With several copies, the nearest count.
Chain A
């Protein structure tokens, strides 16, 4: 378990975590990048701004 940087809720992590992996927070949906595994550290992943067209 670790905290989501966006909303502060608990983020459940699977055990064979890899640096660089993207995990989405199940509370706020934010995309988080694993920057360290022992202990697990998450940062906001650079999410590409979806182009809404028009």
Chain B
């Protein structure tokens, strides 16, 4: 089978480590370089246990080697400053930060601190194949989705795609519960183990950055609130949707099966029996799977939509590898076959 060379810029963080873990196990990938300013010279296994025994060592992030695909797992604001340099060494660049997710410079002025390379925003392709597969084939610049937005979009997308929601009149409330890896390895006092354990802690009561990304792809504004809970990796989004006209369970199944029946990385979990009747982060931890489900609440004219992902995988590194597989014409599920553990503890 075909082999492509790949490098990871910013490989010492959680997301960088997850990318490395996936690429090291990917049948079509040969890792040529992993950069990290803080860990240069150290073996990748010393930072990321799943890679123990690998002779790969972190290198300085300057004078990058040329590769087929470069994954950037750097904090927000880094890729936009180095994108030209990245394209000098790689044909395809997959950026996991927010630097190329939104379409217009105005959005970056409003939600971030402006943009250093707005000319790339036009051509950047959103990495979520379930809603952007046709544009990903052959794309040069791929922008990984945000984890909260990915969970929310996966849940709501079929409702818009099949006209159950038009995106104007309806009220949509999104209430998300996330793990601590979203804040990255650093984080201040609030993310020390004594303070972060066992919380149900509202931390972005009005999460506008996520709303901007969700609105861009669903075409509707959502009222978003995020809570930190006692997980490390995992995101659960519960969307409360009030459609303008009544809808039946049959309509819902038609919409969701229509969008996801043939998708390799979306599983339906809407009622039924057993312990795991609805989507749950534990059930998809470590996998690139998204679980989606719904419940109809006629007395409140409401549809309750549940979606669960592993924010490190479907919400970040897994999505990036999936998008790269599509862009480079590889087998879509290559390197992403793990389907989770049961029973298992907090993800």
Judge whether B247 is part of the interface by a CB distance below 8 angstroms.
no
Interface flags for A12-54 (1: CB within 8 Å of B; 0: not) read: 0000000000001101111100000000000000010010111
Whether the Cβ atoms of A54 and B253 lie closer than 8 Å is: no
Whether the Cβ atoms of A47 and B273 lie closer than 8 Å is: yes
Known: A29-B277, A30-B271. A53 touches B182 (CB 8 A): yes
A-B contacts besides A24-B272, A29-B277, A54-B182, 15 pairs, CB < 8 Å: A8-B250, A8-B253, A27-B257, A28-B253, A29-B271, A29-B274, A30-B273, A31-B272, A50-B188, A52-B183, A53-B182, A53-B186, A54-B146, A54-B178, A54-B311
Residues of A contacting B182 in the complex (Cβ-Cβ under 8 angstroms): 53-54
Residues of B contacting A9 in the complex (Cβ-Cβ under 8 angstroms): 253, 257, 261
Residues of A contacting B187 in the complex (Cβ-Cβ under 8 angstroms): 53
Binding site for B on A (CB under 8 A): 6-9, 24-25, 27-31, 47, 50, 52-54
Rounded to whole Å, the gap between the CB of A35 and the closest CB of chain B is: 18
Known: A52-B203, A53-B187, A54-B183. A27 touches B249 (CB 8 A): no
Rounded to whole Å, the gap between the CB of B344 and the closest CB of chain A is: 19
Known: A8-B253, A9-B261. A54 touches B272 (CB 8 A): no
Judge whether B268 is part of the interface by a CB distance below 8 angstroms.
yes
Judge whether B83 is part of the interface by a CB distance below 8 angstroms.
no
Complex Cα–Cα for A54 and B176 (A): 14
Judge whether B219 is part of the interface by a CB distance below 8 angstroms.
no
Judge whether B164 is part of the interface by a CB distance below 8 angstroms.
no
Whose C-beta in chain A lies nearest to the C-beta of B188? A50
